[in-house]
Structure 1
Amino acid sequence: MTDISLPHRGRRYALTAICLLAALLYGWSWWTWGWGNSYYSAAVKSMSASVTTFLFGSFDPAGVVTVDKPPMALWPQVVSTWIFGYHGWALLLPQIVEGVAAVFLLHRAVRRWAGEGAGLIAALVLAVTPVTVAINRDNNPDTLLVLLLVAAAYALTRALRAGITPRRATGWLVLAAFLIGCGFTTKMLAAWVCLPAFLLAYLFGTSAPWRRRIGDLAAAGGVLLVSSLWWVALVDLWPGDKPYIGGSTDGSALDLVLGYNGLGRIFGGGGPGGMPGGGGMPEIPGGFQPPGSSGGDTPMPRGGGGGGFGGSSGPFRMFNEVVGGQISWLLPLALLIVVAAVVFAVRARRRGAVIVPADRGGWLLWGGWLLVNAVIFSFASGIFHSYYTTMLAPAMAALVGAGTVWLARRPWGTVAAMGAVAVTAVWAWVLISRDTSWNGWLRYAVLAAAVAAIAFLFIARRGTRTGPAVAAAVLIPSLLAPATWSLAYAFGPPDGNGVNPAAGPRNTFGGGMPAAGGRDTTGGRTPGPRPGGRGPMGGGTELTAEQRRILDYAVAHSGGARIKLAINSSAMGTAAYIMNSDETVIGMGGFMGSDDAPTADQLDRWVKAGELRYVLSGSGPERMMGAAQSRTTWISRTCTAVPATEYGGTEQSGTSFGGAQTLYRCGT
């Protein structure tokens, strides 16, 4: 593909500036953010306890239950805490590095396909996409997943380049498969969503004989299976004691792949009843429910059936009020570029024009990546969070980069560029107008920039040389709004919603939470973590004074018991106890509290063996789900409530989804 001209030194400086911008957006004041998603933050501490907890990704230091994802995304965070100590900023530092690395590698991949200018534009678009900025300032696994898939795309692009020897092409393809497999060990089937795009790109993006192509893909398939499933096989074939795999219905990693964390995300549900362990989705205290795409307070679907964290499923989910402001600013433009590329490819084929295989492979790779992910995310019936759409950002950025350069090098491109500016400006106006109380002025700034850009392009359409000026005219009004959202997020107050981070004025699980009176008073942002503060999932990052008294009492009176305190609560209600203690504290039931770990029989054995004496349990809604109900029944029948006066507390000792908790003494 042709490229817009840039001086060699200017290219280097431009890439450096973009990477520095990404580092600024992802890392500004990261040492003040707190702990991000406390579910993973607690697991990072627990994973430092032993080789087994590290390998399996245990949520608690005793190795009772794992997090509901494979552990690869947490391993760099664990290593960082080994080096710098257990601090929130140490957990988040690897995320910043991974985010910047993805920007850099996207440039290298797109540059080899569409030229230096396209690579720089793609890197810039990825760097300032709001959802990418939000997730890279958090410790969820999607940051590493995006990096691994962009690295795989770079390897595949190297395999497609003209003049490469067959052996080296095979090597690069196998490396791409290995990296996608690492993505599987990061977030399971989410990494495989891009596989059709990679497959088509190699099949039709190389001039190698068909026999060679099929053989290379077979070899890559073998590497993909091994690098994807080695952890699953290790877990399920492990001969000794091991943690229960959180999110599964039978404790196996394979069930997690095929159920709750795999096909369940697409088709809905997890275990029976829609959630792992057989429970349903509990109510959130206070009556709050995330809104659907219509903007009304629609109830959260049981079992995540409608993906309540990202609006209702359907063809327009990527553009709804929850997701649209995170990813869709340039999505209409990217889709139009894909359509234009298909039209021009068909016309070129009819004329008998020669299409460079590597160019075709690039369009198949990035276009397929965007379309497959967008379709699956749009129609997924399972649990869906708005930050999942960060997976669309690299492909969208690559297509916008290539498409912009393509227009900038053609005399008629200025006319198409005017249309592109108009489309993005109109859509930006719609997105911003959904909540004008948050930076509503921005829509007028975008409109003014778009009018100026269209006027410039109208004048420049008769010129013989366009290049960078046309590209700038398209990009400035197109990136003004998403860049502003990203800057506001990066330089605003720390986001207290580490479970589901999002930029912009979202009064939902996708961003800020409503204030007590129902009106958002934080500019659409949740205030930063505060001592004992609780998010919508019932969790906090620090212990209240009363929770500290409960923990200290249990530790002081447990004697030689291995487990000092067992908490019958969801993981988000347990995390603070693990994060703020060096003692062995465990949660029960995994993320939602509905996993069958530990069982009532296991609790009974621990108590009889003197390994456990104190349990903190409540009567909240999640205690009535599936396996949790049998644990709650066992506790109430077997253990004795400790009077609050013994540890200096009150009768309402703690909360779990808003329900009061009671400290129990078990055994003699």
Structure 2
Amino acid sequence: MAAPRWARPALWAVLASAAVLYTWALGRNGHANEYYAAAILSGTRSWKAFFFGALDAGSFITVDKPPFALWVMGLSARVFGFGTWSMLLPQAVCGVASVALVHSAVRRGLPGAAGHAAGTVAALVMTLTPITVAINRDNNPDTILVLLLVAAAWCCLEAVRTGRTRTLLLSAALVGLAFNTKMLQAYLVVPALALTYLALAPGTVPRRIGRLLAAGAVLAVSSGWWMLVVDLWPAGSRPYIGGSTDNSVRDLVIGYNGLGRVFGQNGRGGGGGFGGESGAGRLFNDVMAGQISWLLPFAVLALACGLVLAARRSPAGARAGLLLWGGWLVVHYLVFSFSSGTFHPYYTTAMAPAVAALTGTGGVLMWQAYRESRAWAWALPAGIAATGAWSFTVLRRTPEFVPWLAWAVAGAAAVAALGLVAARLGRRVRLRIAAVALAAGMLAALAGPAAYAVTPLGSPVNGTNPTAGPAGSGGPGGFRGVRGPGGTRAGDPGGAPYGMPEGSAGDAGAPPSGGTGASQDGGTGIPQDGGAATGRAGGMRGGPGGSVSREMIAYLEENRDGATWLLAVGSAQSASSVILSTGLPVIAMGGFTGSDPAMTADRLAGLVSSGRLRYVLPGGGRGGPGGGRGGPGGGSSEADAWVRANCTAVAASEYGGTEGEQPLYRCG
């Protein structure tokens, strides 16, 4: 059946809107999340660092995630030279591709014009989800995670529709790639994919089970190959696995990036309540509501109504879509709402495809039922009224942000709901009135998220914890405050990782207003003046592990004497800034949090005696009293003690520093 004349222009308009939202003024975002940016730069200098996802080109320690997303951005940086656009444009392209795949998956579930309408609505909702706009302008791995999972869902639905086993196997392989992007979060979609295929795929139940077992084998291989290679690699010739307690990817999967995220086990993933208190209402609190919740009430109603309607007369594609996206939404809601480990608002971008697809498919089914049955005349008006009421509530939490918008949304929603009821009072539906009311309802539903979605375009991204919306969109204990340089907010834990005070040396957010904070050297993205964006005046972001001034960096470069690493510091927050400033390897002894037991006294002594390391800026582990997570005192405190006993403190006057600042030590 030929597509309606409006279908293709509508799709291209939505995709063009997504491209604008995800790329407008992208260059001002500088290095975005410096932690990942440093690893991407290091990967352009060393294929070994590239493969392992090492923070530094010397491959001392990896980032605390698997490297697939770094590979995508790193290949771009290798081809075009490291810089903001070469790093972030692939993210924006992946975001647009996700919108297109959601459109295609939803469109195929319903025949004819209904499918195109559902797909267009889903693509528009996906495009305008505020947290998705924010994360697609950043270099966190979630954008690529979402693309891979949406592609997996598309393949699963095609496997249900066509019965082709290879499409199901491809779906499993894509989930495996997603695992190598963000580990166990990728598996949150697996129950929905498996249940949908088992329930609705062609063939007998035993054959479906057999194909699912084959898909499980593919999933295991595509998920585990990198982990197996790394864990079998001799530990002495590869980087320490950042985020692990025993230098293994297995521990990283189960602990820091697994159960620790859900249960917050003794620092193995816990320690950052960036999304507010856990519980059933987390996604609706002052921090989270404006990021993802706008259409959640409608999506839930659409799922419930859609399943009832689809069970009667809708094609199998609609039932499969509702079951898959509904399962996706339920699992993510439960895990994100009740996890007590580290939880960032941007994780919820993984819910956007499900919310969008359910809104599109369920909304069209509710519209068809509204037109055909008086018994279903209540569903669509109720959904619009509930959405308008919730949007009004969210918008009124920050009354200074577009003050008239909340009232306009409430008015449009009321007009739409009443118009739909009025158009259905007689025996025949007054289609013109109903169509106008439906348009008003869509406007009311999308106005709030659209207003939030455009805010990331106006200031540099907070790379560590990207969010959308007005400065006051966080509630008490959340992100309430005024945006500071780089788009961070006073009191925003994203601006000062792990709850450090705003303006502290640990601010690993975005560059200050105006860009990267230093002139850029062509396509390299490395500041010419030896400085990076910020922390203290004339210095680098410090964080646990110390702050590094421009004067100190100049001294270190002058006195490097062929060492592999320019410097060793306590944590990645310091190391990443210096790496981005100089392009040279810097050791983060305690990894991202400063608490990884990666550096021991013996290892440090070996590096010094071999001439690969000459300077150390000790201290700053965040593993609690005593330092790192490797036991009482931790590896970092052991290494610090060795430095103070065996190395010579450099007088601040030697590099133009000031007395009283954290001492730099010369070793060897």
Same fold by TM-score greater than 0.5: yes
Residue matched to 1:642: 650
Distance 1:456 1:541 in 2: 58
Distance 1:468 1:97 in 2: 34
Which digits, 9 at most, give the CA deviation of each residue in 1:399-445, with x for residues without a partner? 00011111221324553222111101111111112221223332112
Residue matched to 2:322: 363
Cα 1:662/1:512, change in 2 over 3 Å: farther
Q: In the alignment, is residue 152 of structure 1 matched against residue 145 of structure 2? A: no
Residue matched to 1:214: 209
Tell me which stretches of 4 or more aligned residues in structure 1 moved more than 4 Å. 342-345, 353-356, 465-471, 506-516, 518-522, 524-527, 532-536, 618-624
**Deviation at 1:275?**
3.7
Residue matched to 2:380: 417
SS of 2:62 mapped into structure 1: coil
Cα 1:417/1:535, change in 2 over 3 Å: farther
Question: What is the correspondence of 1:449-598 to structure 2 with a 5 Å cutoff?
Answer: 449-461=412-424, 462=426, 463-464=428-429, 466=431, 471-490=438-457, 492-495=458-461, 497-506=462-471, 514=482, 528=513, 531=517, 533-534=533-534, 540=541, 547-568=549-570, 570-598=571-599
Q: Which moved more, 1:124-133 or 1:452-461?
A: 452-461
8 A Cα contact 2:396 2:406, kept in partner? yes
Residue matched to 2:31: 35
Residue matched to 2:128: 128
**Deviation at 1:613?**
1.3
Which of these residues, 60, 69, 80, is aligned with residue 84 of structure 1? Answer: 80
Distance 2:621 2:61 in 1: 21
Q: In the alignment, is residue 374 of structure 1 matched against residue 333 of structure 2? A: yes
Aligned length: 607
SS of 1:315 mapped into structure 2: coil
Which of these residues, 261, 273, 276, is aligned with residue 311 of structure 1? Answer: 276
Residue matched to 1:280: none
What are the ranges of 5 or more consecutive residues in structure 1 without an aligned counterpart? 277-302, 653-659
8 A Cα contact 1:533 1:541, kept in partner? no
RMSD: 2.9
Distance 2:278 2:262 in 1: 10
Q: In the alignment, is residue 251 of structure 1 matched against residue 247 of structure 2? A: yes
Which digits, 9 at most, give the CA deviation of each residue in 1:521-548, with x for residues without a partner? 99x9986356355579x97499x99722
SS of 1:221 mapped into structure 2: helix
Cα 1:520/1:640, change in 2 over 3 Å: closer
Q: Which amino acid aligns with 1:577?
A: V
When normalised by structure 2's length, the TM-score is 0.85
Which digits, 9 at most, give the CA deviation of each residue in 1:301-326, with x for residues without a partner? xx32xx51111111111111111110
Residue matched to 1:233: 228
Distance 2:23 2:401 in 1: 23
**Deviation at 1:274?**
1.6
Distance 1:645 1:535 in 2: 21
Which digits, 9 at most, give the CA deviation of each residue in 1:147-205, with x for residues without a partner? 001101111111111xx3x4xx1011111111111100000000001111001100112
Which digits, 9 at most, give the CA deviation of each residue in 1:558-607, with x for residues without a partner? 32322221122x21122110011133322211101111222221111111
Q: Which amino acid aligns with 1:383?
A: T
8 A Cα contact 1:156 1:173, kept in partner? yes
**Deviation at 1:344?**
4.7
Which digits, 9 at most, give the CA deviation of each residue in 1:317-369, with x for residues without a partner? 11111111100000011112222234556xx5xxxx56644332222100000
Which of these residues, 183, 196, 219, is aligned with residue 178 of structure 2? Answer: 183
8 A Cα contact 1:45 1:86, kept in partner? yes
Cα 1:320/1:615, change in 2 over 3 Å: same
Residue matched to 1:291: none
Distance 1:502 1:23 in 2: 18
8 A Cα contact 2:42 2:585, kept in partner? no
Distance 1:191 1:142 in 2: 10
Cα 1:179/1:554, change in 2 over 3 Å: same
Q: In the alignment, is residue 661 of structure 1 matched against residue 626 of structure 2? A: no
Residue matched to 1:298: none
**Deviation at 1:232?**
0.7
Distance 2:187 2:593 in 1: 26
Which digits, 9 at most, give the CA deviation of each residue in 1:379-404, with x for residues without a partner? 11111111100111000100000111
**Deviation at 1:19?**
0.3
Residue matched to 2:352: 393
Residue matched to 2:403: 440
Q: Which amino acid aligns with 2:249?
A: A
Q: In the alignment, is residue 97 of structure 1 matched against residue 93 of structure 2? A: yes
Residue matched to 2:527: none
Q: Which amino acid aligns with 2:206?
A: R
